[in-house]
Structure 1
Amino acid sequence: MTILVTGATGRVGSQVVEQLLKRHADVRVLVRDPSKADFPEQVEVVQGEMLDIDSLRRAFKGVSSFFLLNAVAADEFTQALLALNIARESGVERVVYLSVLHADRFVNVPHFAVKSGAERMIEQMGFSATILRPAYFIDNEVMVKDAMFDYGVYPMPIGGKGIAMVDARDIAEVAAIELVRRDRAPGKLALETINLVGPDTLTGSDIAAIWTEVLGRPVNYGGDDPSGFEQTVANFMPKWMAYEMRLMAERYVSDGMIPEAGDVERLTRILGRDLHSYRDFATRLAGAI
């Protein structure tokens, strides 16, 4: 049985492919540019994109399960709904969908609202699905490393309530485990939602303290005002996306992104190991300087 992976060349998708191969799954990927698809030879590559109906139909032909990852984009919702409809048209009913933690609560943030809508469609369309809801990715912190390394400031406005940032490696491994579990099940499994979080819930000040220790020099938290953060990220992403990141940061400050009771323990059981921590990430990134 073949498992289709979308978003396969990104940070999470590429690791999902790797984890699936470790579990001896037959893997197909949908990619825009096959020349940039650096996968082992046993991975079947289909050229196309999420808005190309013909390539979606080719990608889903003969597939038994799929991993649906839609990157933040202006047409993200359309991409998700097209993929779900073509999957159903193709007789594919088993899916693992990468959503976001608090998708149903942070609905003023566009990509949260999109993922909440896609979750509803998955449920209403009757898929055998696992909804993965990751917290903010630890790996995204690479975007702000220069501010910490060069200026001694942790600039991400995440507030004082705390965020349980999650490592992309943990996301990918749980996704692969769920894909294989659903793909190899003798019948249709019930819809399930899994919160993907890190082992520690950290505030802005907590993270600055970790970097101070790891770098051996003071790193200060830049504060809760998201306006400067929006201006900074607008230098390397579209302004609409930078504003969306600001809206997300405002919800971090007001609400936090805190695990539910038992989330960490559940993930530890699924993975059979400890979760990767923020301190581990900071140490690795600092060592790469």
Structure 2
Amino acid sequence: MTILITGATGRIGRHLVTRLLDDGHHVRAITRHPATAKLPESAEIVRGDLTDLDSLRDAFAGIEALHLITFGGDDGADLTNGAEIVSLAHESNIRCVSVLAGWGTTSIEEALRNSSLDWCRVEPVEVMYNTRDWEEEIRTHSTVSTLATYPSTMVHEADIAAVAAFALTQDGHTGQSYRVTGPEALAPAERTAILADVIGRPIRHIQLTEAQERDRLAAHGFGDDYVEFGIHLATNPPEAANQVCDTVPRITGRPGRTFAQWARENATNWWTRPRHDPA
């Protein structure tokens, strides 16, 4: 099967490209910057931009299945041209589509609902890769500071890709909306302890107040709207944030990867010794 992957150089897209290649499929990977894609040599890499329909026409030609992300451009904003993208998929005789869903419905999902394409939605709750936001603080202070205390069923990027791969290449997924989680719900303090165990040195979790979290986000250059969104999310988590779903084992036939496994795979990101003692 010939499959086109959008978002191919992203943290989930890379796993999906590799998974499909390993399964023997021909993978066409679309990126705005082919020269720096660093994807497997066996992938066909083409230039394209989801915000520019004309740049997609050649990429869509001869494709049997398509994996879509719902954002694009330099700012990663939600795509507003979903109707045009889905129409091009029709014209290109693409029949099967998987969509990596974000926080809300975008023009991509709206257009697919009004189409005759076979499509399904893959919705990760929270991606383990987000933990890399802690890297600099761990390296420099051996601490992790958060306002949030709630357990989250974070999911490994490779497991999200595996569910998408099955949806693209196997029958029976049309019309499904797959909520994808990891196999356990862990609070930030618990994830901090796992990271400390993996890298073999103490890391202290610091519980922030709302005022401290506002100061921390503002110091990173985030605007007021984003700061307040961060505060709201930390103090009012989604109701399903700590609910483990069986999607990964049910669809792929294997257990979901644990946070400890993800930490071991990414351990080199945390190995640099702190430049000074933690406060």
Counterpart in 1 of 2:275? Answer: none
- Kept in 2: contact 1:173–1:271 (CA 8 A): yes
Unaligned runs of 5+ in 2: 272-279
Alpha-carbon deviation of 1:19?
0.6
Alpha-carbon deviation of 1:287?
4.9
Distance 2:89 2:260 in 1: 40
RMSD of the alignment, in Å? 2.9
Counterpart in 1 of 2:217? Answer: 230
3-state SS of 1:119 partner: helix
1:258 has 2:240 as partner = yes
> Of Structure 1 and Structure 2, which has the larger fraction of its residues in helix?
1
1:247 has 2:234 as partner = no
Q: Which moved more, 1:24-33 or 1:129-138?
A: 24-33
Distance 1:232 1:175 in 2: 37
Counterpart in 2 of 1:38? Answer: 38
| CA 1:30–1:88: 2 relative to 1, 3 Å | same
| Residue number among 221, 245, 251 corresponding to 1:270 in the alignment | 251
Counterpart in 2 of 1:77? Answer: 79
- Kept in 2: contact 1:46–1:55 (CA 8 A): no
Alpha-carbon deviation of 1:116?
5.0
Distance 2:158 2:63 in 1: 25
3-state SS of 1:118 partner: helix
Distance 1:179 1:20 in 2: 10
Alpha-carbon deviation of 1:80?
4.3
- The TM-score, its normalising length taken from structure 1, stands at 0.79
Alpha-carbon deviation of 1:132?
0.4
| Residue number among 155, 165, 175 corresponding to 2:154 in the alignment | 165
| CA 1:248–1:91: 2 relative to 1, 3 Å | farther
| CA 1:34–1:157: 2 relative to 1, 3 Å | same
Alpha-carbon deviation of 1:26?
1.8
Alignment identity in percent?
24
Distance 1:3 1:245 in 2: 39
Report how many aligned residue pairs link the two structures.
265
Distance 2:63 2:231 in 1: 38
Aligned-partner residue type, residue 209 of structure 1 = A
Counterpart in 2 of 1:108? Answer: none
- The TM-score, its normalising length taken from structure 2, stands at 0.81
Give matches, 1:40-55, under 5 Å. 40-55=40-55
Distance 2:101 2:156 in 1: 15
Aligned-partner residue type, residue 164 of structure 1 = T
Distance 1:168 1:120 in 2: 25
Alpha-carbon deviation of 1:40?
4.1
